[in-house]
Amino acid sequence: MTKRLTILGATGSIGQQTLDVVARHPDRYEVFALTASTRWELMAPLCLSVRPRYVAMSDEAAAEQLRNHLRQAGSEVEVLGGNSALAFLAAHEEVDTVVAAIVGAAGVRPTLAAVEAGKRVLLANKEALVVTGALFMDAVKRHKATLLPLDSEHNAIFQCLPAEGVNEGVERLLLTASGGPFRELDAEALKQVTPAQAVKHPNWDMGPKISVDSATLMNKGLEFIEACWLFDVPVDKVDVVVHPQSVIHSMVAYRDGSVLAQMGTPDMRTPIACGLSWPERVESGAQRLDFSALTGLHFEAPDLQRFPCLRLAREAMEAGGTATAVLNAANEEAVAAFLDGRLGFTGIPDVVERTLQRQDAPACQDVESVMNVDRQAREVACRLIEERGC
Ligand code: NAD
Ligand code: MG
């Protein structure tokens, strides 16, 4: 039986790597729909090679340009425009599996639409879960969706856990972190970091936003929150271990002293293939781990003084309500400002911390209210960025 897929965020790093895995198994997977935001010129060649039934651009003008381009190229792909088109394709009755690979809170609504339609949802878009937390997990249960993590750490933990998930035998979840490109820089040097340096990750090839998050350790903070929700564990059951080689992708420690680790080369096609085929296994295209060439694996504790984002994320999770939505919104604005030269690297945690201090974070019963908090937090963060400057 072929599975029909909608890929949200198809032009991005995860989207393209998903297409790479899918292309290896034409007998198993059929691409029903692809979506992206504004970069129609990246989407056009995907439409011609993958030939999905539908494509949607959240930006209407980009959709129009893509439509014209594809018409001239003689393609029959149907082009839709606007945010509601993304949700429509995520929830479409002909779709079995939705790959949620939009970056940021922009992915909340289409990802939730897939969950509410009871799809098999492969989650890369960690921000969607960080922002909506309990509402997201309740919707998964209520609509009997199947949620499988694509984030390499959570996919690793998922593979190391018992089939039913965390039980009394599980003592701790150990999230590994590469430590990012600036692990060894001192506090002074961190102030001088440029966007070009921050988007170059030593082990992974990723989109610009998550690359900056990896450099500040906010990525690990978001993943810490993601782990608490996905595996239904309290904050004190999750530890972060810095492991610069990214060979162990995360671990589960058991009551009897056993520690199970999932290992592999750092290639997102492994967790993507795992999510697509689970509980079976298929070829991913990833290079195999060569134990004869592996030199010492190194482990250390994260430095929360130089990298305060991890502490801020943990505190936001402990605070509850919509604090994690505020944290995420402020971080998205601060990272965008850093990438276009309006904020220094060490300004990112500073803006996030001060936004958390200024913005109320009440518990919310619906997504609309959460997105209101997200909007307010962005306004606060943008004001702080303007006042602060570089
Ligand atoms: P990316 O920047 O390469 O791609 C982002 C995709 O999202 C693009 O297709 C873009 O068109 C789409 N998008 C952006 N804004 C949008 C909007 N407003 N509306 C609709 N679509 C929008 O990002 P990425 O590196 O592929 O990361 C995607 C998600 O996966 C992020 O949440 C990231 O944290 C997570 N993730 C990525 C990696 C990785 O290796 N790249 C690993 C683990 C988790
Ligand atoms: Mg990760």
| The pLDDT value given to residue 204 | 78
In the structure, how many helices (H) and strands (E) does the chain have? Answer: 16, 11
CB-based pocket (< 6 A), ligand 1: 9-15, 36-37, 39, 58, 101-103, 106, 124-127, 151, 204, 206-207, 209-210, 268
Single pTM value for the model: 0.98
User: Can you name the CATH fold of 3-150?
Assistant: Rossmann fold (3.40.50)
Residues of the chain with pLDDT under 70: 390
CA of 214 to the centre of ligand 2 (A): 9
Q: Could you state, in order of their start, the residue ranges of all structural domains in the chain?
A: 3-150, 152-185+195-302, 320-390
Q: What is the tens place of the pLDDT at every residue in 282-296? A: 999 999 999 999 988
Q: Which two tokens stand for residue 152?
A: 């390499």
Domain 320-390: CATH architecture, name and number where available: Orthogonal Bundle (1.10)
Q: Please tell me the distance from the alpha carbon of residue 100 to that of residue 121, in angstroms, as a whole number.
A: 7
**323 contacts 314 by C-beta, under 8 angstroms:** no
- Residue 104 alpha carbon, nearest atom of ligand 1: 32
In SS3 terms, 29-86 reads as EEEEEEEECCCHHHHHHHHHHHCCCEEEECCHHHHHHHHHHHHHCCCCCEEEECHHHH
Looking at residue 390, what is its pLDDT?
Answer: 63
Q: What does the pLDDT look like over 228-283, one tens digit per residue? A: 999 999 999 999 999 999 999 999 999 999 999 999 999 999 999 999 999 999 99
In this structure, which residues have their CB less than 5 angstroms from ion ligand 2?
151-153
Which atom of ligand 1 lies closest to the CA of 222? 34
Q: How far apart are CA 54 and CA 79, in angstroms?
A: 6
12 CA → ligand 1 middle, Å = 5
Measure CA 228 to chain center.
15
Dihedral of CA 235/218/113/272: which sign? negative
The rounded distance, in Å, linking the Cα atoms of 47 and 370 is 34
Rounded distance from Cα 104 to ligand 1 centre (Å): 7
For 88, 143, 217, 270, the CA distances from 176, given in Å and listed in that order, are: 36, 32, 11, 16
> Starting at the edge strand that comes first in sequence, how are the strands of the sheet with 54-57 ordered?
78-81, 54-57, 29-36, 3-8, 97-100, 120-123, 146-149
Nearest atom in ligand 1 to the alpha carbon of residue 39 is 11
**How much distance in Å is there from the Cα of 64 to the middle of ligand 1?**
22
- Among residues 256, 214, 252, the alpha carbon closest in space to that of 233 is found at 252
Contacts of 171 (CB under 8 A, 6+ apart): 237, 253, 254, 255
Taking only Cα atoms into account, the Rg of the chain, rounded to an integer number of angstroms, comes to 20
